[in-house]
Copies of this chain bind each other. A is one copy, B any other.
């Protein structure tokens, strides 16, 4: 596997952004490589294309599998694992949202629910409990909404997003704060 300069730029960018996205450089690069690759790649090809160790590739693939961001497939008369990223960006997006929700939000929601089972009623703890309740309410509102959007097919979701602020008209309210028409 050799990569062109054009591909390199994209792969290196994903590597650099990796740390901001909570994944490491290797994982970012591998995902970028798979995403633009027109064919499935095996671990050896990935290792060679990125100049990393075989074991690093193995660990990264495990992590990407845990995120459900890659698929494994096999070719006839070849027992190596071949990896692909899903073709459809919308599907990738849904997976990302679901996984980030599970890892970054759900543990907190769960902790908040626990803390609110028997909320203190006096003093600063009571104030804290009210703030926790506000946070949980917002989390549940937003995650519920994300679930709903994830269940939509791409066409509907696209239509909804393009509607943008115009959705307020449909809601029948004159509460618009700022006019932001979209295509």
Contact = CB atoms under 8 A, between A and B. Distances in A.
Interface of A: 4, 6-7, 9-10, 13-14, 17, 20-22, 35-38, 89-90, 93, 103-104, 107-108, 111, 115, 120, 124-125, 127-129, 131-132, 134-135, 137-138, 141-142, 144-145, 147-148, 151-153, 155-156, 158-165, 167-168, 170-171, 173, 175-178, 180, 182
B20 A104 contact: yes
Nearest to A165: B148
Contacts of A108: 13-14, 17
5 contacts: A36-B131, A93-B138, A93-B142, A156-B173, A160-B168
A158 B168 CA distance: 11
B156 A175 contact: yes
A178 B151 contact: yes
Contacts of A36: 127-128, 131-132
Q: Tell me the number of copies of this protein.
A: 2
Contacts of A37: 124
A-side binding surface: helix, strand, loop or mixed? helix
A125 B13 contact: no
Nearest to A168: B156
Contact of A141 (B120, B158, B165): B158
A96 B137 CA distance: 17
